[in-house]
Structure 1
């Protein structure tokens, strides 16, 4: 399989890629993540995913580069990573008892070519008590997460309903990522181990 670079420092994205048997190296991209005036959230996440993939691809000719970006969106407003504990609490109070969207884009670049997909998942929180929100914020888990929560961690107990892709909410939509790699001529299953062969 071709060399693959993940243009993200996210440990969650690395774990998801490892889950589907992809061998890769990590090279975080340094891009401006400021939303443009009037930019729809869906366009924003796709632009950032593409910018990240192309930024790393530009210095790595002939290598496949995966970029990704995730935003939590409530009523059309992007809820970013909290700047501090108080901001995390306020965000979680806003999400309590409400349905929000998690928009995750994945992009695959090779040289100056880039393909991308956007996945939108609806997530509903049950009503949260102030005490559990405070306890969750105190755990530190919300601090590096879009929307101030991690569905794969302690925050998983807040989710009453999910419609869409669980892996996209974690940070990387596996179905779409595998499809992009297959379209580029590198289906992930070709690198899976064969237990029958290794046992003979």
Structure 2
């Protein structure tokens, strides 16, 4: 029995490895934009969880006897879900909008084991610092935040610009270890079953 991560995220892999687990990384390729269009009337929490479930479903079909986890994170800022900024200019614009504000980072999780599912969205409150224009440009140009929900990482350069969080730190990085522990227990498994 193995732990399969339906993601190519180095941050999610790092969380698992720091927790003693060496996952198989098997990214799921889904049309996120098309799925988001079908979810336009859903709540933000339901939306991110549906994205996580879609990713886990694709991978679970290939690993039916293993624990598979799919995740998706988005920032809820001023009532609107924000995905990855993808470009330096978009990152700069995003940071100029979010600096000094409070937002919710939503991470949807879908965990599957032998046809049983645990699905949940973890919400963590992020208090963004009042960051200078110079630091915003330098951070965007570093490339680090371009592929990150909320245009920041908590565990690297972005940590300079987050005043505080309220909630699950591992969920902000991309994968909630407490949620995974509860999911494994519900399947009759233990976290230590996967420690190397």
TM-score by length of 2: 0.92
Give the alignment partner of residue 162 of structure 1, picking from 161, 165, 188: 165
- Higher alpha-carbon deviation: 111-120 or 141-150: 111-120
Please, which runs of 5 or more residues in structure 2 have no aligned partner? none
Please, which runs of 5 or more residues in structure 1 have no aligned partner? 194-200
- Higher alpha-carbon deviation: 133-142 or 55-64: 55-64
Which residue of 2 is the match for residue 12 of structure 1? 11
Give the alignment partner of residue 120 of structure 2, picking from 117, 122, 136: 117
In the alignment of these two chains, the number of paired residues is: 192
| CA–CA distance in structure 2, aligned partners of residues 20 and 161 of structure 1 | 23
Give the alignment partner of residue 54 of structure 1, picking from 54, 57, 60: 57
Q: SS of the counterpart of 1:161?
A: strand
Give the alignment partner of residue 156 of structure 2, picking from 153, 170, 185: 153
Q: SS of the counterpart of 1:9?
A: coil
How far has the Cα of 1:54 moved from its partner?
1.2
The reply on whether 1:104 has 2:107 as its aligned counterpart is yes
| CA–CA distance in structure 2, aligned partners of residues 154 and 24 of structure 1 | 25
How far has the Cα of 1:80 moved from its partner?
1.1
TM-score by length of 1: 0.90
Which residue of 1 is the match for residue 93 of structure 2? 90
How far has the Cα of 1:3 moved from its partner?
1.8
How far has the Cα of 1:52 moved from its partner?
1.1
How far has the Cα of 1:191 moved from its partner?
4.6
Q: SS of the counterpart of 2:117?
A: strand
Map 1:1-80; keep pairs closer than 5 Å: 2-34=1-33, 35=36, 36-80=39-83
| CA–CA distance in structure 2, aligned partners of residues 20 and 116 of structure 1 | 21
Q: CA RMSD in A?
A: 1.5
Contact 2:2–2:194 at 8 Å: present in 1 too? Answer: no
Describe the superposition over 1:60-117 as per-residue Cα deviations: whole angstroms up to 9, x where unpaired: 2222211111111102211111131110001011110000000012211134432112
| CA–CA distance in structure 1, aligned partners of residues 81 and 8 of structure 2 | 21
Describe the superposition over 1:114-171 as per-residue Cα deviations: whole angstroms up to 9, x where unpaired: 2112110001012111111011111111111111111111110111121001111100
Contact 1:54–1:111 at 8 Å: present in 2 too? Answer: no
Which residue of 2 is the match for residue 197 of structure 1? none
| CA–CA distance in structure 2, aligned partners of residues 103 and 152 of structure 1 | 17
